[in-house]
Structures are given as structure tokens and as C-alpha cells.
Chains A and B, each alone.
Chain A
Amino acid sequence: MKKIVKENLPALFRAIAAQQDLFLPIKTAGQTNFGLWTEEAEVDLETLKTVKSGKDMFFPQSETLYTCLKDDKKIYIKPEALQDRNFVAFGMKGCDVKGLEVLDRVFLADPVDTFYAARRKHGIIVAMACNEPETSCFCKVFGVDCAEPSADVAVWLTSTALCWKAQTEKGEALTATLTAAGLLEEATEADLHHVEGEKAVTRAIVEKLPYMNLSLEGWNGEALNEKFNSPLWEKLYKGCLACGTCTFVCPTCQCYDIKDYKTGTGVQRYRCWDSCMYSDFTMMAHGNNRTSQMQRYRQRFMHKLIYFPANNDGMYSCVGCGRCVEKCPSSLNIVKVIKAFAAEKTNEGGAR
């Protein structure tokens, strides 16, 4: 394991950014999100969760796919260049990284999404272990160990240093460069001891989190019809404002829309994240196949907990980051849905 003392982190970031783009949690107007590092940026490694997950470093909220240009009577198509240089995604958490595994299932399966694939190929993920998780966290339910994230590099922020452990070839290469530059040094026995101590503390807290024992029993492909037809949805969706907050802060939501933008001299075809909460979600020529908010609300959870695992070897499309739990304006969320169905099963529910 390597390390760098905390005071030298700006030098580390500068060195990484000199070789490739560096994205990391940056505080802007009071909120922390992943952004491109600059000398002036206010790096924030203390905030447990960025508002948006790290998803848009690999799958941006809006991106141009190609542009159509008109020149007299000819029309040209100019494809958008793919990511062709490396970048570092620093400070993603275990849940964020697990979110990418979910996206990989969608975008790296045939037909491969070349835009996403290029970013995955060139992205080097330096994931940071969590300390002091929130009561909204339930990543362990989905097999994430937030105390030791699995990524190209795992890092631990202790009171004095950042401890650094390469876990893949990509991670080794970045580590070698930074070690050669004299930025990373060998961690001492004391550092290793400190990291092990931090891991133990975090894991102990994780065991005490209120959603840690959330049961996903009954959420599988076999239960499709039973869940889909449940009268509970009519109750559960009532407070939903049909905004896209849950979708847009989610590390696994992958639906997008494709639209055209008239630039004046041509047409830009772009894609942007969509939300199943929105009225024009999956709008087609014949109209919309989900005509009520109840149906759209149900879609979100059926997708995450039934359709996705049924099509992806049991992998849920939720990683327990708890962002929707914290951000929904009406305090609705996936945990409440899972609990409501569980309560219904044991006949304690009904009112939900």
C-alpha cells in the first residue's frame, strides 16, 4: 500500500491533472458534485455523498451523438468523437462503483454503446472508502463493502494521510506514475494498522444502520405478475410529484431519450437522461404506454427490483446509496416500497 500526507493532496491532484482530466467531488455554491479539477476548485472529500452520483462521468446527463450539417444542397453527418484519452474519476464511493457494474450490463452488452464503452475504457477509478455512513445508506444489502471499495485504486482518508492501494492493472499504472513522480510513498506498518482500524469501525457502523437488514425476498422475475398487479401501488404513488429527482441522483438509472436540436445551421442529435416519472417517458408515435403517474411510479421500482434482476442474473438495479431516500421532495423511496410490500405480506400493512 502507498500513501500521501494530506497536505500534499493538492500536489497529487495537480500531478494527475497534468497527465489527464481529473474529476473529483467539488463544492460549488454549497453543493458537492463531481467536477473537473482546476487550481481554483474547492475539492470536498468530506461530504459522504455527492448530490448526483459519479454516473455522469461515464454517462453524461446530456451528450451530442452526431451533428447534421447542411452545405448548399448537401447534407453531412459529423459523428461526435469518442473519448480517446484517459481520465481519472477520484473519490467515487463503493456504491457509485457498483452502480457502474449495473450500467455495464446495459451499455456493454450487445449492441455495445460506444460512447459509454470508450469512457469506461479510458476512465481510471480511484474509489474512496466511506467513513461515518448515513442512516439512509443500505449498500451492504446489495453486496457492497463501503469500507473497502473495489475499483482500479482504493483509497482511505485518515486523519493525516490518504492511503492508496492499486487493485487493477490500470490502477497499477497510475500508481507507478505517481510513485515515480515522488508523490506516493510506501505506507508504513502504522498506516496499514490505521486503515484496518478505520475499516473495522466503518463496518461496525454499517451493521447498525437501520436499513441494513432490508429483505429483498420476493423481488424476482417469478413475482412479476403478483407485484405488477398489486393494489399497493395505488397507495404508494400518491405523494409522488412526478419530478425526476430520484432518477437523476440515482447511480443506476440508465434510461435516456434521443432528441434533435436545431442549431440554425444544422441539427444536433443528442441524448439526455430520461425519467420514468416524466409524462413523455417512452412516448411513441401511437402515444404513451403508461398513461398514469401510478403506472410510471410502478415502472421505476418494477424495473429496479423485478425486470432488471430477471434479465441480469439476479443483479438488482439499486445499489443502496440512499440518495433517493434523502432527496425525494415527498420522502417517497425504494426502501418504503420494499417495506410496504413486506408489511403487506405479514398483514401488518394495509394503510400504505
Chain B
Amino acid sequence: MQRLIDRAKELLADGTVVRVLGWKAGDMGYNPEPAMFDNAAELRNFVYDGFCGANLSKFMIEASKLEGKTLVFLKPCDTYSFNQLIKEHRVDRDKAYIIGVGCQGKLSMEKIKSMGVKAIESVSGADAFDAAEELTFETLYGEKTVAYKDAMLQRCHVCKGKEHMIYDELLGESKDTKDADRFAEVERIEAMSPEERFAFFQAELSKCIRCNACRNVCPACSCRKCIFDGTKYDSAQKANTTSFEEKMFHIIRAFHVAGRCTDCGECSRVCPQGIPLHLFNRKFIKDIETFYGEYQAGADTDSKGPLTSYTFDDVEPSIVAERG
């Protein structure tokens, strides 16, 4: 981690960048926050470890509007989002100096808690470039250990790979964390009967409290003003009415990000109610691959998206009816 701080200080000192976008250490050892550092002194609070799951590409939308270059640390999966944002003209490549940081899988506090670890006082084993096989927690109720793998975010189990899609320089080692098929969960749901599937999504989506965390963290949700924040519509962005959440908001959002979602998994990471929102997006990704061939949003900055280019060979809308 010190390597990152040292390099950031150099880049600030030689004027390459005027600020640093990274993560600031929290007060508990497992709660770092996305933060902007304006000078070398502030970097003493910089941290990068297994708990730095936040995708900083989203914050680059605002940073692109500021004077001067911002140094941003992006994990391999974050770089897909950055590329996609370039494609959509929502970030300015010239305003960013990207250090592609290594990633050894990011951790989920929800998963850790679900394994019975509570009242954590300190944690070890979550080093950024030297992650342990096992995490050790000192808690008020005794020491607990958890396999690092079991504590990883769902998205890390279907990792897109160690390669950064865009960067100015690279720092730190990555690990292969993929141990599951990306579409296995989607296939499990596709195999359900329509009634089972409806019940599944109804149970999940009726938990929604309309906090909009999924939308606000999403790099693909970069509209200056979301339609749901408009005052002209009956659908208040903050009123949770069960039927609306179950049938509309998340589905409309999934349609809107279809073909642009890089599957970064932030929506599921941040949902306070643990709704597996990534499933919608992944279903779209799977369908897009079926109908238009393999495509990964954010793998580059200039290819045409399958849903934004039209050819005579495109699948007809009637496919929906045919597939049921």
C-alpha cells in the first residue's frame, strides 16, 4: 500500500495531478470510504486493502468537471466502467491519470456477518497485494477466522480477470479469484417456472426501500437528472409502494443500463436490503451475448454497442413472444 502513497506523492509533487481520488481509512479497520486527497499531507489517511470495494469510476464523473488532472486508482473491474463512461462522454480521459491497482478480491461485510462474525474490533489478512488465505477477526466475543474466499463479494467469484482495460501505469499484484460461472445464477432462475420466478423476484424486490443506492452508485446511471427524480411524474423517487418496486423501478433501470452495464456488481454490494440486483443486469448481458455475440461493455472505448447499432441481421422483437 505504501507504494501507492509514495507514487501519489510523486505525481502530486511533479504536478502531473492536482488531487488524488482513492480510499481513506475508516475508524474500524474495515470501513474505508471513497475520498479526495488534495495534498501529500492528507495522504497519510490513504488506505487500499480488501475492503476497498467501491468503484471510483463513478466519482470521476464529478472529478472530470474540476480544474486539473485527478489521479485515480482503479481496480481491473473498475476500468471497464471508466471505459464505458468515456464512450458515453461522461468522463474526460485527459482529466484522469489512472493507476491500475492490483486486486486480490474485495470483501463483503454482509457475508462476513452472515458467517457469524460480529462486533469486530480489528481484522488482519485483508492486505491489498498480499491477501491471506484466511481473515482473522478480533471481536468482542472472541477471535474468529473466515476463509478469504468465503468473505469475497459475489462479483469477485465471477471476476472478469486481472487485466486493466485502461491505465497510465500499473501497481500491485492481482489474484485469480474466479471460481464460478458468470451465468450460473441466471440459468438457475431461467430454469424456474414463471410462477416460481415471479415469487422469487417479488420476495426480493418487495424488500426495496427506495434508497436509490443502487442507482446512485451505478456508473451506468450517469444521467444528470434521473427520470425518477422528476416532479412531473406520479412515481416519486422515494415512495416505496410494494407493487411499484416489484414491477417497475428496478426493471426500468435494468433496461436503461442494458448493453452499457459492465457487471461491476456495485448495485448488489450497496443494497442495504441485500437484493441481488446484478441478476437483472446479468440476464441482459447473457441475452445480448446470445443474440448479438460475445460483448463486454467497457472492454474498449470505441466499439459500437450491440443495442446502439442496428443491422438487418438483428433479432426481431417477436423473439420475446417466441421465448415466452
Contacts and interface: CB of A to CB of B under 8 A. Distances in A.
Given A134-B118, A241-B217, A330-B34, A51 B206 contact: no
Nearest to B141: A132
Size class of the A contact interface (CB-based, 8 Å): 35 or more
A243 B231 contact: no
A139 to B, nearest CB: 14
A205 B140 contact: yes
B272 A132 contact: no
A273 B119 contact: no
A52 interface: yes
Contacts of A278: 212, 229, 237-238
A111 interface: no
A280 B45 contact: no
A350 B43 CA distance: 11
Interface of B: 24, 26-28, 31-37, 41-45, 54, 58-59, 109, 118-121, 139-141, 203-204, 206-207, 209-213, 215-217, 225, 229, 231, 234, 236-241, 269-270, 272-275
B28 A274 contact: no
B27 A335 contact: yes
Contact of B240 (A61, A260, A335, A350): A61
Interface in A128-143: 132-135
11 contacts: A51-B209, A61-B210, A210-B121, A245-B270, A245-B272, A249-B209, A259-B236, A261-B234, A336-B26, A351-B43, A352-B24
Interface of A is mostly: loop
A135 B121 contact: yes
Given A28-B203, A249-B272, A257 B33 contact: no
Looking at A52, A279, A330, which has the most chain B CB atoms within 10 Å of its CB?
A330
Interface of A: 28-31, 33, 48, 51-52, 61-62, 132-135, 205, 208-210, 235, 238-239, 241-245, 247-249, 257, 259-262, 270, 272-275, 278-280, 283, 325-327, 329-332, 335-336, 339, 350-352
Contacts of B45: 351-352
B118 A62 contact: no
A238 B34 contact: yes
Nearest to A335: B27
Contact of B229 (A239, A257, A279): A279
Nearest to B225: A279
A42 B121 CA distance: 31
Contact of A31 (B37, B207, B215): B207
A239 B33 contact: yes
Looking at B59, B212, B229, which has the most chain A CB atoms within 10 Å of its CB?
B212
